[in-house]
Amino acid sequence: MPILTHLWILPLLPLLGAAANGIFGGRWPKSAVTAVALSSTTLLFLATLEAVREFFTLPAEQIPWIKSYFTWIAAAGFRADFAVQVDQLTVIMLLVVTGVGWLIHIYSSGYMHDDPGYRRFFSYLNLFMFFMLLLVLAANYLVMFVGWEGVGLCSYLLIGFFFLKKSATNAGNKAFWVNRIGDFGFILGVLLILRTFGSLDFATVLPRAAAMAADPAGQIGTLTAIALLLFVGAAGKSAQLPLYVWLPDAMEGPTPVSALIHAATMVTAGVYMVARSHAIFLNAPVAMQVVAVIGCVTALFAATIGLVQTDIKKVLAYSTVSQLGYMFLACGVGAFTSGVFHLMTHAFFKGLLFLAAGSVIHAMGGEQDMRKMGGLRKKIPWTFWTMFMGTLAIAGTPGFSGFFSKDEILEATQRVSTPLWALGLLTAGFTSFYMFRLLFLTFFGEQRFDEHHVHVHESPKNMLAPLVVLAILAVGGGWMAAPHLWGGVNYFEHFLAPVFSTASEATTAVAESSGGAAEIVQGLFGAPVIVGLLGFLLAWWLYIRSPQTPKKIAQSLSTPYKLLSGKYFVDELYAAVIVRPLVWISDKVLWHVVDEGVIDGAVNGVADVSRETGDRLRYASTGNIRTYAAWILMGAVVFTSLLLWMKG
């Protein structure tokens, strides 16, 4: 088993790519940069496939497959190894990260082709792959934290990629700061784990957490505290309320970055971390409730903002926040498998949607405002059809991947809480509406741009090929979980069962009891599908049938409309409550009083006193040797008499 034995190869490949392009790429022609970046990710994907093949030959007792390379930290009673592990959950994440990452690298070679920062872009992107692999391969919380921070760094670098644009650097800073809050929670959670369990290894911590008595409902014990702190980290990384504000702004980065980091992989790291720590969360009922409610409210909240956005990427950004909310909802109701399943299908269809949006932006020569698009269907058919597939998938059309994953989440939610289920259902309707609105505004209706200025053209093949592959995955990716509709095995759940063994008892029992024709009918024409259909019809009515209506609605309902288009003014609220007071304190107190007064005052004070003293004392240095001699004599006399006086 060459790859599993040498697991370090996986993260090393993209790291080499990043280093080679970052250090030497400046002297290389563009084709060499492309070759290095693409070959590292292609090799990585192939190596991952081989690793997965080897993984399937492993006997069950060797899973999780843990490789420890060296002792990283050894201190009194505490030991952390630099260790990586592969289990079923890792396999899913590995395939998603390397597969989608590979496709997006190919896409980027077309999308970024004329950008002066081409080499820098690929260096960062490869570096991101390295840290993301570290994150998902980690066998303890410490290595995971390194990957966690690393992807945050790459996210920051790539959001601010167009660093000459003030808005881009601001967005990068915002992402970094907001994530600091989340990461602070995460590291506190990790420290609490260390204190409670004396170890950070998943293989030690999780079984012990599972064996511990659950915190009583409604009370906050140690496990609940750990879970809540970890969730603060997850909420920062995965853009949940109240820390979601950075993700919409992150759209300042190049579109492939939005697709890879801010839709498919990095932002789902929070979900992965929660799913990985499921043993802790399951014994913390309060934390589970918090996760479910935050996830559900975020899903609805972001979806409503997405209804009125006009920037094509902003719609997708809020959609991502909303879909991540679904994943947390799934985790919060104990359906970790469904959450991870939605993570995977979301990586496919949202990656696809972002890449297709990038293709539209490319075709429109950089225009992102949907009000200035329209009627593009015939001009860029490949982009249209792939994006159409992605839209059908996210809207939950029966048979498409999003249908299966979203259905599973709603089904699991229904068993736990009816209000959350209702909110989730409403979100599904909104999702369908805003996605079809996006599709109709972009590709249907009349052209709202001047064709003399905008030369609409289909994207090159290296951009279309990833679109097609992702479209196929977005359409078919859900069938792994499909057969349970007609009473068969949910392969995905079956595969992940060993990881979530403690969690899956409840869910599998229900899933296996279902089946039969009535179930199929219910599944195909259940509430989520009907709501999705309503969303589609409403979008069709408003944007195809009578395109004048939306404006009238916006006028007659001006207050709610302003609230939505202003994104609930959360940014303004944060600015007023947190940012401006902080700036004021920093400016008036920390700068002018503490820094200028105390610190500068101390330094300048010492200098002033020294200079003043020197000024007075310099008159003693006359330069006259006889005066000096007299001083010496006087000194000698004084000291001698002092000595004599002390003795006597």
Partner 1 sequence: MVPTSYYLVLSAILFGLGVIAFIYKRNIISIFMSIELMLNAVNLAFVAFSRALGQLQGQVFVFFVIVVAAAEAAVGLAIIILITRNRGTLDVERVDLLKH
* Binding stretches for partner 1 (CB under 8 A): 621-626, 629-630, 633
Query: Least separation, in Å, of the C-beta of 618 and partner 1?
Result: 10
| Residue number with CB closer to partner 1 (486 or 628) | 628
Residues 235, 60: Cα–Cα separation, whole Å: 33
CA distance to 336, 379, 417, 581, per residue, from 326 (Å): 11, 35, 14, 34
Query: Least separation, in Å, of the C-beta of 157 and partner 1?
Result: 59
Query: Least separation, in Å, of the C-beta of 592 and partner 1?
Result: 44
Query: Least separation, in Å, of the C-beta of 611 and partner 1?
Result: 20
Check if the beta carbon of residue 357 is closer than 8 Å to that of residue 313: yes
| Residue number with CB closer to partner 1 (518 or 625) | 625
| Residue number with CB closer to partner 1 (607 or 629) | 629
Residues 291, 297: Cα–Cα separation, whole Å: 10
| Residue number with CB closer to partner 1 (611 or 626) | 626
Place of tokens 């990716």: 477
- Burial class of residue 559, CB neighbours in 10 A (0-12, 13-18, 19+): exposed
Query: Least separation, in Å, of the C-beta of 617 and partner 1?
Result: 15
Query: Least separation, in Å, of the C-beta of 614 and partner 1?
Result: 15
| Tokens coding 305 | 């903002």
Q: Give the dihedral sign, CA 197/200/206/207.
A: negative
- Burial class of residue 615, CB neighbours in 10 A (0-12, 13-18, 19+): exposed
Residues 330, 337: Cα–Cα separation, whole Å: 8
- Residue 621 one-letter amino acid: S
| Residue number with CB closer to partner 1 (5 or 622) | 622
Residues 203, 467: Cα–Cα separation, whole Å: 38
Check if the beta carbon of residue 397 is closer than 8 Å to that of residue 339: no
Number of other CB atoms surrounding residue 641 within 10 Å: 10
Residues 370, 382: Cα–Cα separation, whole Å: 19
Query: Least separation, in Å, of the C-beta of 625 and partner 1?
Result: 5
Query: Least separation, in Å, of the C-beta of 636 and partner 1?
Result: 9
| Tokens coding 468 | 């097609």
Number of other CB atoms surrounding residue 541 within 10 Å: 12
| Tokens coding 219 | 């009370």
| Residue number with CB closer to partner 1 (551 or 626) | 626
| 213 phi, psi to nearest 5 deg | -70, 140
Query: Least separation, in Å, of the C-beta of 630 and partner 1?
Result: 6
User: Which residue in 184, 470, 242 sits closest to 354, CA to CA?
Assistant: 470
DSSP bridge partners of 311: 369
What angle, 0 to 180 degrees and rounded to 10, lies between the N-to-C axes of helices 222-237 and 166-197?
160
| Residue number with CB closer to partner 1 (560 or 635) | 635
CA distance to 108, 138, 435, 456, per residue, from 359 (Å): 11, 35, 17, 11
| Residue number with CB closer to partner 1 (211 or 637) | 637
Number of other CB atoms surrounding residue 349 within 10 Å: 31
3-state secondary structure of 194: helix
Number of other CB atoms surrounding residue 199 within 10 Å: 18
| Tokens coding 601 | 């005052």
Query: Least separation, in Å, of the C-beta of 626 and partner 1?
Result: 6
Query: Least separation, in Å, of the C-beta of 622 and partner 1?
Result: 6
Query: Least separation, in Å, of the C-beta of 639 and partner 1?
Result: 15
Check if the beta carbon of residue 624 is closer than 8 Å to that of residue 632: no
Query: Least separation, in Å, of the C-beta of 643 and partner 1?
Result: 16
Classify 199 in phi/psi space as left (phi over 0), alpha (psi -120 to 50) or beta. Answer: beta
